[in-house]
Amino acid sequence: MDLSDITYFFDCCMGQWSIERTYHYLTYQEIERSHTDFRVDPITADLRRKVLVDNDYPNVDDLNQLPGFQLEFHTVSDKGEQVSQELRVLFVPKEQVDGVITGDYLRDRAYEEARPIVSTFRYDPTTRELLMTTPYSRVVSVDSILLINPTMRIRRILNYQRPAEGQPLDTLVLVGFGVEQKVS
């Protein structure tokens, strides 16, 4: 499997980011704006193993070749609400078809629920878009990061009401958009 383009994507993601987002809460017709300071650093071998263990994930060959990072962020909403979090992320590529890589996306702590979680990802090298889908208890989050260039990303977050097993995602409860710029 050729991981050179997804490795480039994650190399560009390292560093300090300034993020402006808008969230549309569709269930109660509210709009929220927020600013986030976001720091992305390389993940150590010990932390890679910890993410696997925390998620009861099977052992992986070439663990140090897997894309991943550790991040911390601080968000302030336009209402003055503040959220800070620190977590570790690991991507386990499983298949590559026509250049598109799919696999599992593991975190030692989820955004919506404070627990380790295994999600899925899809990375398209022609658009440099990373699409991550996470089934939480009440919602399914479909999060997209589009790398415009090494210092700018566009973020899209779609949270759907979690449907019954086998049913399509068709009820949006939250839509978020963000412009993410790397800080020198």
**Stretch 133-154: mean pLDDT, rounded?**
97
- Contact in structure between 142 and 132 (CB atoms under 8 Å): yes
User: Rounded CA gap, 95 and 71, in Å?
Assistant: 26
pLDDT digits (tens, 9 = 90+) for 58-79: 988 888 889 999 999 999 999 9
pLDDT of 138 strictly over 80: yes
Give the pLDDT of residue 62. Answer: 85
**DSSP for residue 79:** T
What pTM does this model have?
Answer: 0.94
* 140 contacts: CB under 8 Å, gap ≥ 6: 133, 134, 159, 160, 162, 163, 169
- Rounded to a whole number of angstroms, the CA Rg of the chain reads 16
Task: Considering only residues 78 and 1, tell me which one the structure prediction assigns the higher pLDDT.
Answer: 78
Q: What is the dihedral of CA 174, 179, 182, 184, to 10 degrees?
A: -130
d(CA 18, CA 126): 25
Pairing of strands 82-97, 30-41: unpaired
Per-residue model confidence as pLDDT tens digits over 164-183: 999 999 999 999 999 999 99
Report the relative pairing of strands 152-161 and 172-183 from DSSP bridges. antiparallel
- Cβ-in-10-Å burial (0-12, 13-18, 19+) of 121 comes to buried
The domains located in the chain, with CATH, are 4-183 (2.40.128.20)
CA–CA separation, 38 vs 95, rounded Å?
30
Average pLDDT, integer, range 12-36: 97
Mean pLDDT to the nearest integer, 106-124: 91
pLDDT at 86 over 90: yes
Q: Which residues pair with 129 in a beta bridge?
A: 124, 146
- What pLDDT was estimated at residue 65? 86
Tell me the per-residue pLDDT of 27-46, one tens digit each, with 9 for 90 and over.
999 999 999 999 999 999 99
